[in-house]
Amino acid sequence: MKDLSRPAARQIKVLIVDDERLVAETLGDLLRGEGYETVIAVSGVQALDLAARERPSVVLLDVRLPDLDGFEVCRRIKNDPETQFLPVILVTGLSGAEQRVKGAEAGADDFITKPPDEQELLTRVKSLARIHDLHTELVSSNEQLKLLVEERSRQLEEATRELQKLLNEGTYFGPGLVPRQEPAEPRLPQRPAAGVESAPSEGDLKARREFRHTLLSRLSETMEGRADLTRTPETVSLLSQRLAAIYDASGLRLTGEARQQLFREILDDILGYGPIEPLLADPAVTEIMVNGPTRVFVERKGRLSKTEIQFDDDDHVLRVIDRIIRPLGRRVDRRSPMVDARLPDGSRVNVIIAPCAIDGPTITIRKFGERLRMPDLINYGALTQETSTWLEACVRSRVSILVAGGTGTGKTTFLNALSAFIPEDERIVTIEDSAELQLHQEHVVRTEARPPDVDVSGEVTIRQLVRNALRMRPDRIVVGEVRGGEALDMLQAMNTGHAGSLTTIHANSPRDSIARLETLVLMAGFDLPMKAIRGQIVSALNLIVQQARLRDGSRKVISITEVQGMEGDVVVLSDIFAFKEEGMEQGRVVGVLAPTGLRPKFEHKLELAGFSLPSTIYLPPQRQAQDRLRRGRAP
């Protein structure tokens, strides 16, 4: 709040009107001494001119003036809309009762007798100036209010015009939107939430689509071509306001929920990823699969299910694809119909469209979330605590491990969980196609391959990154997945000072992993004899952790296999742990990942690293029970 009780210097301007300049000057000196600004007029005409031009806060007006008298000057000031609120203090003669009456008739605000008493003069000027200032403030805020009201009415008019246009086009209300029999509460057909069984009728969906589409395009037109809008509280609020105006003016009344859903859908189309936006926001959904506009699947808790979510048509899916890849400078068209991308939150996206996708544009999203850690995997029954402890000893002892499995079996997740066992004091370099690993050690350098630009230049491959990593003095190299010639470089790294490096491979069994590694090594382009390749594999690699998705949808470690060596031309593999299935219970596979009884040949490596694990760790469950009995302990 402004302090108006004391005048600030040059803040309050007083117009002093007196035919005797000396008198005016004396009063001026007095007021200036108190911090006021002053202007002097010696005639009535001059007074009127200065009152209009100088915008004073108060006028001290002598009655006797050479041209117009004080009453006339006062009257004119009060009659002029420009100055009508300017306070006038009339300076009257000692016996001026009659003058005061005339002054009051002319509109004077106050009187003071001549010669004025200093204190009285200051008090009067101060109080009137204060009233004047308050008044000025009021006027200015009124002015702002007026502008605001004008702006709102303009928006309303615009919205009404929009609506009129829509109504004229006759496309606004689709069939079934405003049932004639129920004029009180027309309902828009509702799109059911994901997972709801009852499907809406085709007519309902069409009507909803048309309605939404029309609103959407009207709204887009008012966005001055800004297609790059991002979801900030400001844009959401701005668009909601515009949408609300268009909607309100429509006269259509939906139930609160239907209206909100409609708004949400439109905002999702403009600011987000359209119909799949709610799935992206749902933490329970781990994967989203759009197979053309009408078949959208999700994975929740490892189980696939179809949702009721639908896109309007192929173009609608393509628009969402465009929103995903455009910010990355990528593009997808008939000539390059496939693209890998990532959402800003790190979620992995693959897109494939016509002519290669036959049933419509297809989007696959592996959502990014906090990666499951080893305790979570144990909790989920993917492996046992004992196996995890043993694997920890292996990782810390620099046993080189390959995590194998089919698509989406949890390879990357397991690699990530294993990497957490790498000691803090080691330098780790990670290499990935698209960064998915979340290592919590401090000394980690993360690198990522780069696809070629549109002009096919600028590609950086995993292989180049592996080679480069070797020059970065790593203690361990963690490669997201080997799928090309980098397999050879990786094996060589494991053989030459970077033992304990970790990677994954797409393979359905340990034996399959070896075969695939052989193929990948050949892809490196060296004409190596198969025996030499196998020799490399066997000496580099110690363990294969096999992941699988069981028929109940659960992801588990189904074997941990040692790569023992060569017998003739054959690579010898031996399971140290294997998953034993014991049947099904309530749709779930029951079983346990148990030791097979075989001890790994690299056991000495663990001992050298200081791990003296009890030998019972390798005993199969039955033998462990016998062992406990023999030692006299309860099972």
Distance of CA 620 to the CA centre of its chain: 50
Select 177 or 341, whichever has its Cβ closest to Mg ion: 341
From residue 510, how far is each of 68, 483, 577 by CA, in Å?
113, 16, 12
Phi, psi (rounded to 5 degrees) for 497: 95, -5
Measured CA to CA, the distance from residue 627 to residue 635 in angstroms comes to 9
CA dihedral over 112, 118, 124, 128, signed as positive or negative: positive
Measured CA to CA, the distance from residue 462 to residue 505 in angstroms comes to 13
Minimum CB distance to ligand ATP, residue 419 (Å): 12
Please list the residues that pair with 306 across neighbouring strands. 297
Select 207 or 507, whichever has its Cβ closest to ligand ATP: 507
Number of residues in the chain: 635
Minimum CB distance to Mg ion, residue 412 (Å): 3
Q: Which does 413 bind (CB under 5 to 8 A by kind): ligand ATP, Mg ion, none?
A: ligand ATP
Binding residues among 373-432 for ligand ATP as defined by CB under 6 A? 377, 380, 382, 405, 407-413
Select 508 or 596, whichever has its Cβ closest to ligand ATP: 508
Minimum CB distance to ligand ATP, residue 200 (Å): 30
Residue from 75, 124, 342, 555 touching ligand ATP (CB under 6 A): that is: 555
What DSSP character marks residue 618? G
Minimum CB distance to ligand ATP, residue 356 (Å): 19
Minimum CB distance to Mg ion, residue 325 (Å): 21
Measured CA to CA, the distance from residue 404 to residue 502 in angstroms comes to 11
Measured CA to CA, the distance from residue 573 to residue 565 in angstroms comes to 8
Residue reference for tokens 């809406």: 200
Alpha helix segments (H runs only) across 309-454: 314-325, 374-379, 385-396, 411-419
Q: Which does 380 bind (CB under 5 to 8 A by kind): ligand ATP, Mg ion, none?
A: ligand ATP
What DSSP character marks residue 188? P
Binding site for Mg ion (CB under 5 A): 411-412
Select 518 or 552, whichever has its Cβ closest to ligand ATP: 552
In contact, 187 and 258? CB cutoff 8 Å: yes
Residue nearest ligand ATP by beta-carbon distance: 410
Select 369 or 423, whichever has its Cβ closest to ligand ATP: 369
Minimum CB distance to ligand ATP, residue 507 (Å): 11
Binding mask 276-315 for ligand ATP (x = CB under 6 A): ----------x---------------x-------------
Minimum CB distance to ligand ATP, residue 568 (Å): 33
Select 92 or 504, whichever has its Cβ closest to ligand ATP: 504
Distance of CA 630 to the CA centre of its chain: 61
Minimum CB distance to ligand ATP, residue 314 (Å): 25
Select 411 or 534, whichever has its Cβ closest to ligand ATP: 411
Q: Is 223 left (phi over 0), alpha (psi -120 to 50) or beta?
A: alpha
SS3 content of the chain, % helix, strand, coil (to 5): 40, 20, 40
CA dihedral over 598, 603, 607, 609, signed as positive or negative: negative
Minimum CB distance to ligand ATP, residue 213 (Å): 34
Please list the residues that pair with 339 across neighbouring strands. 351
372 near ligand ATP, judged by CB under 6 A: yes
Measured CA to CA, the distance from residue 248 to residue 262 in angstroms comes to 13
**How many positions of this chain bind ligand ATP (CB under 6 A)?**
16
Q: Which does 346 bind (CB under 5 to 8 A by kind): ligand ATP, Mg ion, none?
A: none
56 near ligand ATP, judged by CB under 6 A: no
> Which residue ranges make up the site for ligand ATP (CB under 6 A)?
286, 302, 366, 372, 377, 380, 382, 405, 407-413, 555
